[in-house]
Amino acid sequence: MKIGCPKEIKPQEFRVGMTPNAAREAVLAGHAVMIQTGAGVGAGFTDADYIAAGAAIVGTAAEVFAAADMVVKVKEPQPVERAMLRAGQVLFTYLHLAPDPDQTRDLLASGATCIAYETVTDDRGGLPLLAPMSEVAGRLAPQVGAWTLQKANGGRGVLMGGVPGVLPAKVLVIGGGVVGTHAGKIAAGMGADVTVLDRSINRLRYLDDVFGGQFKCGYADAATTIELARQADLIIGAVLIPGAAAPKLISRAQLAELKPGAALVDVAIDQGGCFETSRATTHQDPIYEVDGIMHYCVANMPGAVARTSTQALGNATLPFMMALANKGWKRACAEDKHLLAGLNVHAGKLTYAAVGEALGLPS
Ligand code: NAD
């Protein structure tokens, strides 16, 4: 099979769909790999790295789309990319079709077979191609929170780990799923005094079993949440209610109860945010202040560490990409219900019920 990987063109997207290591795996299995020149630069991979892996470098995205049997990307195809898709071609990437009728219409019109990373499932009921990005955002949250807490950035001027004789920062993580667990672990590793709250007793049992001693765990009722928020230097919002907007857990009025200069990192901003005063920001201008409280609400946090994110995503997508290449999409999906769950569009038809429901289209 000919596998093609174009350079990402969405603004501020520095990741790339295939690492040189993924390209090498595909080449070793007998496939031809085409990479657009410069595709890996944002993630620190040169054309020479791909050539050494056995891939061919081509000059334009048009050449990739024209020749490839399967196009592997990161972000949903932009209009100019959608226009290059064709019937019979496989597209493997994040799509997020439910809120995007224009993209859905174009993918249906293309006749291509479009498999979305975000709906591929695993045996434990998880989303294995979303989890790596939650891991990255979770581990990044204490790092950006520590930076936001610095005086020059408007924060309280508190050091996460304290120093001998000075107590460490208090960190509250609301939501103990993938993001929250990784945030708690890293904040504790920085020496902070960390509490992670969740509403799932089973999740709290797991966190207590595995991380008891590194951080404390508590039940996320409203009273406990605000009581701990009042004491916190840094609050990390990491909740998710699947398919719903994030619940607002700290209101604007409650900001007055927090410590002046406290930092809020709202990782759940891509679901609308879990603090009433959250609004999405960018890596260029990541923080703002409301009522003396600093907010960090970057919607694509993994983009800040494009190399790590590319490698983490590449590790997770590789087995699925190889199955698609080795068996063809039809047999690969027939033999793996989890990959089949990723199939969103095929030959002009919507094949994912939730997207159809969201857009009022038949599926
Ligand atoms: P997850 O499903 O693994 O975990 C969410 C946790 O929140 C669950 O354990 C759930 O029990 C808990 N929860 C739900 N309601 C709660 C409440 N009211 N109080 C306390 N806990 C509650 O999800 P995840 O992968 O950790 O993702 C968390 C959020 O981070 C999602 O909104 C996700 O989209 C977002 N995210 C953002 C970025 C970014 O760049 N900003 C990157 C990755 C993920």
Three-state SS sequence of the chain:
CEEEECCCCCCCCCCCCCCHHHHHHHHHCCCEEEEECCCCHHHCCCHHHHHHCCCEEECCHHHHHHHCCEEECCCCCCHHHHCCCCCCCEEEECCCCCCCHHHHHHHHHHCCEEEEHHHCCCCCCCCCCCHHHHHHHHHHHHHHHHHHCCHHHCCCCCCCCCECCECCCEEEEECCCHHHHHHHHHHHHCCCEEEEEECCHHHHHHHHHHHCCCCEEEECCHHHHHHHHHHCCEEEECCCCCCCCCCCCECHHHHCCCCCCCEEEEHHHHHCCCECCCCCECCCCCEEEECCEEEECECCHHHHHHHHHHHHHHHHHHHHHHHHHHHHHHHHHHHCHHHHCCEEEECCEECCHHHHHHHCCCC
| Residues 112/91, Cβ–Cβ less than 8 Å | yes
**Atom 8 of ligand 1: nearest residue by CA position:** 177
* Residues 267 and 236 sit within 8 Å (Cβ to Cβ): yes
Q: Encoding tokens for residue 84? A: 């290059």
Residue with the smallest CA separation from ligand 1 atom 30 is: 268
Q: Whose CA is nearest to atom 4 of ligand 1?
A: 177
Is 182 an annotated catalytic residue?
no
How far apart are the C-alpha atoms of 243 and 256, rounded to whole Å? 31
Domain boundary among 256, 281, 299: 299
In terms of Cα–Cα distance, which of 174, 146, 148, 150 is closest to 161? Answer: 146
62 part of a folded domain: yes
Q: Judge if 184 and 148 occupy the same domain.
A: yes
> Ligand 1 centre from 181 Cα, in Å?
10
200 and 336 housed in the same domain: no
Distance 241 CA to ligand 1 centre (A): 7
Residue 180 lies in a domain: yes
Q: Please name every residue paired with 174 in a beta bridge, in sequence order, or none if there are none.
A: 197, 237
CA of 95 to the centre of ligand 1 (A): 20
The Cα–Cα gap between 134 and 183 comes to 10
Final residue of a structural domain among 265, 283, 299: 299
Looking at the structure, do residues 152 and 187 belong to the same domain, yes or no?
A: yes
List the structure tokens of 322: 């190889």
Domain carrying residue 280 = 131-299
Cβ burial, residue 354 (10 Å; 0-12/13-18/19+): middle
Phi-psi region of 114 (alpha: psi -120 to 50; beta: other; left: phi over 0): beta
Pocket of ligand 1 (CB under 6 A): 133-134, 137, 174-180, 197-200, 203, 220, 238-241, 246-247, 267-271, 299-302
Is residue 48 assigned to a domain?
yes
Instruction: Clarify whether residues 19 and 103 are in a common domain.
Output: yes
Domain count of the fold of the chain: 2
Which strands make up the sheet holding 70-72, listed edge to edge?
56-58, 32-36, 2-5, 70-72, 90-93, 113-116, 343-346, 349-350
227 and 276 fall within a common domain: yes
Residue of 74, 75, 124, 239 to test ligand 1 pocket, by largest number of atoms within 8 Å of CB: 239
Q: Are residues 310 and 295 in the same domain?
A: no
Q: Which two tokens stand for residue 101?
A: 């009728």
Q: What is the pLDDT of residues 144-158, one digit of tens each?
A: 999 999 999 999 999
Ligand 1, atom 7: nearest CA belongs to which residue?
A: 239
Distance CA 96, CA 80 (A): 17
Taking the centre of ligand 1 as the mean of its atom positions, its distance from the CA of residue 238, in whole angstroms, is: 4
Task: Name the stretches of the chain with pLDDT < 70.
Answer: none
Catalytic residue among 96, 100, 208, 283: 96
Q: Residue 283 catalytic?
A: no
d(CA 224, CA 210): 22
In a domain? residue 143: yes
Please, which residues have CB within 8 angstroms of residue 224's CB and are 6 or more apart in sequence?
197, 218
Are 149 and 292 found together in one domain?
yes
Assigned domain for 125 exists: no
Catalytic residue among 270, 295, 336, 346: 270
Distance 199 CA to ligand 1 centre (A): 11
**Same domain, yes or no, for 337 and 291?**
no
The residue nearest atom 15 of ligand 1, judged by CA position, is 239
d(CA 41, CA 61): 15
Do 142 and 279 have their domain in common? yes
Atom 33 of ligand 1, residue of closest alpha carbon: 268
Instruction: Return the ligand 1 atom nearest residue 179 CA.
Output: 26
Asked if 235 and 263 touch (Cβ cutoff 8 Å), the reply is yes
- 355 Cα–ligand 1 center, Å: 21
pLDDT of 245 reads 83
Tell me, yes or no, whether 158 and 230 share the same domain: yes
| Candidate from 172, 201, 267, 271 with most ligand 1 atoms within 8 A of CB, to mutate | 267
Measured from the Cα of 127, ligand 1's closest atom is 25
Which ipTM was obtained for this model?
A: 0.99
Residue 57 lies in a domain: yes
User: Residue 163: its pLDDT value, please?
Assistant: 98
Q: State the CATH number of the domain containing residue 19.
A: 3.40.50.720
Domain assignment of residue 315, yes or no: yes
Question: Which residue's alpha carbon is nearest to atom 9 within ligand 1?
Answer: 177
Where a domain ends, among 256, 278, 299? 299
Residues 295 and 311 in one domain: no
Same domain, 240 and 328: no
Taking the centre of ligand 1 as the mean of its atom positions, its distance from the CA of residue 207, in whole angstroms, is 15
Domain membership flag for residue 126: no
Mean pLDDT, the chain, whole residue set: 96
